[in-house]
Amino acid sequence: MSIRFDGKVAIVTGAGNGLGRAHALGLAERGAKVVVNDLGGARDGSGASASAAENVVAEIRAAGGEAIANAANVTNAAQVQAMVDEAVAKWGRVDILVNNAGILRDKSFAKSSLEDFKLVVDVHLMGTVNCTQAVWGLMREQGYGRIVMTTSSSGLYGNFGQANYGAAKMAVVGLMNTLHLEGEKYNIRVNALAPTAFTRMTGDIGIDAEALAQLGPEHVTPGLLFLVSDAAPSRVILCAGGGGFARSVIYETDGIFLPPDQRTPENIAANFDALSSAEGQKIFQQGMEQSTKFINKALGKKPF
Ligand SMILES: NC(=O)c1ccc[n+]([C@@H]2O[C@H](COP(=O)([O-])OP(=O)(O)OC[C@H]3O[C@@H](n4cnc5c(N)ncnc54)[C@H](O)[C@@H]3O)[C@@H](O)[C@H]2O)c1
């Protein structure tokens, strides 16, 4: 089964460089009409220039594809709305949104400023919210939508010096979990991509040249293309880098039940290994399943 995007309209944010550029090229190569969005700023989010997006549009057109450039700042909801309006005016719909734009302001938490923290959250979380909100109504009306949040191993597992970035990257996973539920009956599928690629964002993380040569952003893009295809799953965190593909999954252990007279912190400590046991752990489909599990334990009912 070949995956194609003919007739589909896609918006890729932060597509002037790195991963976004590779995603935009990959979508266009398989037939999508692409809005190449990029503010064109520096790695830390400062500055702006329309040329980053325009260069990628030129590449797509040179290869016979269709694309338009857009320089909206994803943190600006009015600019984002204007970008979506422009796509609809030109092509009539938006089928795919790839929330990829991002910046870094790395510093240990002790040294970082609230200003940097807010800016990083604003770009990664609120930028994703702004873009998703602007297409959500359209996708519901169309009965079709594919949305990807770009998360990160820093958010999923932590990374020294990236408290702001990690918090923002895990926040978009939370956004995905609920939008998956709310979008399901409208055929809107929402997934997250956790990439590893050598880009200007990761140019100084101390990996040697031989390893870096394996990590071109184009090796992540096949994973992204699957996540926005007709056959896409939903609520999946797909990890991708250098030709490796994996899933990150949140489980909850079955846990223990303490009768009323034993509910002490000392007993939690004494049973910590038991409540941590992976035996019987589950992937919950929604938050209420946790409440149901504990109610069942308290009422002495069998696990559902
Ligand atoms: N490279 C990696 O290994 C890696 C790992 C995990 C997550 N990510 C995530 O992947 C995404 C792409 O990263 P990259 O490595 O390609 O970085 P990059 O710096 O090469 O590209 C990011 C692009 O986003 C654009 N951008 C930044 N702020 C914007 C804004 N407010 N509005 C519009 N565009 C904006 C930048 O101009 C830039 O072109 C980011 O969300 C990043 O956090 C990357």
Atom 20 of ligand 1, residue of closest alpha carbon: 18
pLDDT of residue 213: 87
The CATH number that domain 9-247 falls under is 3.40.50.720
Q: Out of 144, 165, 186, 251, pick the active-site residue.
A: 165
pLDDT of residue 303: 60
Q: Pick 50 or 284 by higher pLDDT.
A: 284
Q: In this structure, what token pair is assigned to residue 53? A: 């997006």
Examine the residue annotation and report whether 165 is marked as an active-site residue of this protein: yes
Q: How far is the CA of 297 from the centre of ligand 1 (A)?
A: 45
Indicate the pLDDT class of residue 277, thresholds 50, 70 and 90.
Answer: very high
State if residue 301 touches ligand 1 by the CB under 6 angstroms criterion: no
Indicate the pLDDT class of residue 207, thresholds 50, 70 and 90.
Answer: confident
Kindly report, as residue ranges, where domains of CATH 3.40.50.720 are found in the chain.
9-247
Atom 25 of ligand 1, residue of closest alpha carbon: 14
Q: What Cα–Cα distance (Å) separates residue 273 from each residue in 34, 171, 223, 255?
A: 51, 28, 36, 10
Q: How far is the CA of 100 from the centre of ligand 1 (A)?
A: 6
State if residue 152 touches ligand 1 by the CB under 6 angstroms criterion: yes
The pLDDT tens digits for 221-253 are 999 999 999 999 999 999 999 999 999 999 999
State if residue 116 touches ligand 1 by the CB under 6 angstroms criterion: no
Per-residue pLDDT, averaged over 269-274, amounts to: 98
Q: How far is CA 293 from the centre of its chain?
A: 29
State if residue 13 touches ligand 1 by the CB under 6 angstroms criterion: yes
pLDDT of residue 93: 98
Q: How far is the CA of 139 from the centre of ligand 1 (A)?
A: 25
Query: Residue 280 contacts by C-beta under 8 Å, 6 or more apart in sequence?
Result: 253, 254, 303
The pLDDT tens digits for 124-146 are 999 999 999 999 999 999 999 99
